A and B are shown apart, each in its own frame.
Chain A
Amino acid sequence: AQSVTQPDIHITVSEGASLELRCNYSYGATPYLFWYVQSPGQGLQLLLKYFSGDTLVQGIKGFEAEFKRSQSSFNLRKPSVHWSDAAEYFCAVVQGKAAGNKLTFGGGTRVLVKP
């Protein structure tokens, strides 16, 4: 069964500093990978996705992620964090692009931004 691990439960970063969130997956083939962000009490917003091709993908809000097959990782990065980036971030994987296939989420990483 596929699984997703986000090793860091909480990360605190100063405003303007860089941010990297780790994500590792366990899956037999190349999965389709996603990062979502959730503000408190809100829905999940898609930041970016990787299906194939260039392993460095750009997303919204200045985020990017790099797929590394050899490390089974899909880490999320942002060069300079803004206070509005404080939220919970979920890495997720889906088995193929077929309609109806479920997303499997990691446990999430809560990001706190210090002034």
Chain B
Amino acid sequence: AAGVIQSPRHLIKEKRETATLKCYPIPRHDTVYWYQQGPGQDPQFLISFYEKMQSDKGSIPDRFSAQQFSDYHSELNMSSLELGDSALYFCASSPGSGTGGGTQYFGPGTRLLVL
């Protein structure tokens, strides 16, 4: 079965640089979520989109922005990177409604290292 695809899988950036992470949801999933997982931490919710509109927002820094496109893929843009942004970034997708609604399926993550 198709899964959530994230690219790139690994990314190394310098401080103050920008990064763009991409997420391709499971086919027919219209909802995308972004989470950040620091070393030894549980995943923390950043932001979600349903039908290309922002649905919920968590502790996402103002330096970060995200959007969902017409084909339902999503991009997380991170600017003015800081050392503390080094983390594993997960994307998840879910069906927007029906019996599967609310069940989030995660991608493999993008490991970001800021030097």
Shortest distance between the CB of B23 and any CB in chain A (Å): 12
Stretch at the interface among A21-29, A67-75, A77-85, A102-110: A102-110
Q: Is the CB of A43 within 8 A of B106?
A: yes
Q: Which of A36, A46, A99, A107 contacts B31 (CB 8 A)?
A: A99
Q: Is the CB of A102 within 8 A of B102?
A: no
- In the complex, whether A115 has a CB less than 8 A from a CB of chain B is no
Q: Is the CB of B102 within 8 A of A97?
A: yes
A44-B90, A51-B102 known; A100 and B42 CB under 8 Å? no
A90-B42, A105-B42, A108-B42 known; A99 and B103 CB under 8 Å? no
Residues of B within 8 A of A43 (CB): 4, 90, 106-109
- In the complex, whether B50 has a CB less than 8 A from a CB of chain A is yes
- Residues of A in contact (CB 8 Å), total 26
Task: Specify the chain B residue showing the minimal Cβ separation from A110.
Answer: B40
- Residues of B in contact (CB 8 Å), total 32
Shortest distance between the CB of A90 and any CB in chain B (Å): 6
Q: Is the CB of B50 within 8 A of A100?
A: yes
Q: Is the CB of B33 within 8 A of A46?
A: no
0 or 1 for each of B30-73: is its CB under 8 Å from A? (1 = yes): 11010100000011110011110001101000000000000000
A44-B90, A107-B42, A108-B42 known; A100 and B33 CB under 8 Å? yes
Shortest distance between the CB of B21 and any CB in chain A (Å): 14
Inter-chain CA distance A96–B103, complex, in Å, is 10
A105-B42, A108-B42 known; A96 and B56 CB under 8 Å? no
Q: Can you list 23 A-B pairs, Cβ within 8 angstroms, ordered by A?
A: A32-B102, A34-B103, A42-B108, A43-B107, A46-B105, A51-B102, A90-B42, A94-B102, A97-B97, A97-B102, A98-B102, A99-B30, A99-B51, A99-B101, A100-B33, A100-B48, A100-B50, A100-B55, A101-B56, A103-B43, A105-B44, A107-B42, A108-B42
The 9 closest A-B pairs by CB, nearest first: A100-B55, A97-B102, A102-B45, A99-B96, A99-B50, A105-B42, A44-B106, A100-B48, A97-B101
Which chain B residues have a beta carbon within 8 Å of chain A's beta carbons?
4, 30-31, 33, 35, 42-45, 48-51, 55-56, 58, 90, 92, 94-97, 101-109, 111
